[in-house]
Structure 1
Amino acid sequence: MPPSSPPGPTASAPAPTAPEDNAPRSLRIEDWLTVIVMAALALITFANVLVRYFTNSSFAWTEEISVFLMIVLALVAGSAAVARDQHIRIEYFAEGGSVARRKLLARFGALMVALLFGLIAVLSVRVVWDDYRFGETSPGIGVPQWWYSIWLPLISALIAARAIGLFIRRGRQAPPADHHGDFQA
């Protein structure tokens, strides 16, 4: 009896591709930041629950730090979504029409995201400067407010850079195949 070959793709069948194959390899930054921020949120919340349970009081700083970390998490996740081309869009318009139209809309969307977050990055620098110049402190624990606000222009610039990268990648490749006929009987 001849040995059986393991199941899997044959030489003539192309290997399946992951949906993130067209995303940049440098997404590890966003992925690791997401893991670190989520772990910090979980640890802070768990520590606060334990303290409340055993002492009937809580850490005063946990709410302020948790809100900051959730904002950072949303921005980092937004950056990863843009880089992976999984940002929000109206599928009816984005997936309909000719190949050229879909490619044009994909590039237009990436350009608008880059413009929006570039503008946010530039304008929020003024907020950071004002926080620093006027010595604003956070309401909960009294640390300098710019420690929190400095992350908005930085991560917004990252999102804008990711959107520009997406714009360039969309210009180099054909849009996804038309899926409108997939459900025919």
Structure 2
Amino acid sequence: MGSKHAAHIKKFAFQLILEVEVINNVWNFLNSICKALHWLGAIIMVICTFLSFIAVIARYLVGSPFTWSDEMTVLMMFWFVYLAQPLLEIEEGQLNLSILVDYLPAMVKKILRIIKEIFIIVVLTYIGFLGLEMAQKNFEINCKTPSVGFPVWFNNYLLVVVMMLIVIIKIISLLRWVPFLQKSGPDADARKEELTC
């Protein structure tokens, strides 16, 4: 009887949560979005570097830099830093100190990793809501930067979008950890080994 119930629960969970293929397709789609944002950030970084170079030349030749170039450089630095974050999350490229975790048993590492993912989801969701509130206020008062007149709310909304994208990445990452969603076979074994590291 118990095995029958377990089979029904497993079947229901498959239907309710998502099929492995769907999760992997969503993951690949998110990966494509993150790479596109990363390249956009790289282009912005090149433009930012060029503007900084122009500002330095202007300071020495004219005696003072263009006021708008400093402001645009700050804005662009914000953009390229935040646009790179989702790809860092999806590829787990963020700096971390793993020396203590490396010596823990595989099960403990897995539990700690799940706790970490949930903690990140909670914190980023909270930051996202705060950013959304700030963006709405800046939008209502039409707050703009002094030199260029660029709308401040754009940066606030960008922060919210990036935070929510990372939250979605973390949720999908957790779904990929669900044991009964793992296929059998060598691919699944490799995936399980990757997840326990």
TM-score (normalizing by structure 1)? 0.72
Q: Aligned pair 1:134/2:154, yes or no? A: no
Distance 1:143 1:74, change over 3 A: closer
Distance 1:178 1:146, change over 3 A: closer
Partner of 1:174: 192
Structure number with the higher helix fraction is: 2
| Contact kept in structure 2, 1:122 and 1:153, CA below 8 Å | yes
Candidates 109, 114, 118, aligned match of 1:107: 114
> How far off its partner does 1:161 sit?
1.8
1:12-71: CA deviation from partner (whole Å, max 9, x where unpaired):
xxxxxxxxxxx8442322331231121121121122223223322211112222222222
> How far off its partner does 1:130 sit?
0.5
Candidates 71, 80, 99, aligned match of 1:92: 99
> How far off its partner does 1:148 sit?
2.8
Gap regions ≥5 residues in structure 2:
1-26, 183-190
**What secondary structure does 1:174 align onto?**
helix
1:94-129: CA deviation from partner (whole Å, max 9, x where unpaired):
323111111222222122222221221122111011
Partner of 2:3: none
Gap regions ≥5 residues in structure 1:
1-22, 180-185
What CA distance in whole angstroms lies between the structure 1 residues aligned with 2:144 and 2:38?
30
**166-175 vs 54-63, which deviates more?**
166-175
| Contact kept in structure 2, 1:83 and 1:165, CA below 8 Å | no
Paired letter, 2:137 = D
Candidates 104, 110, 123, aligned match of 1:116: 123
| Contact kept in structure 1, 2:42 and 2:80, CA below 8 Å | no
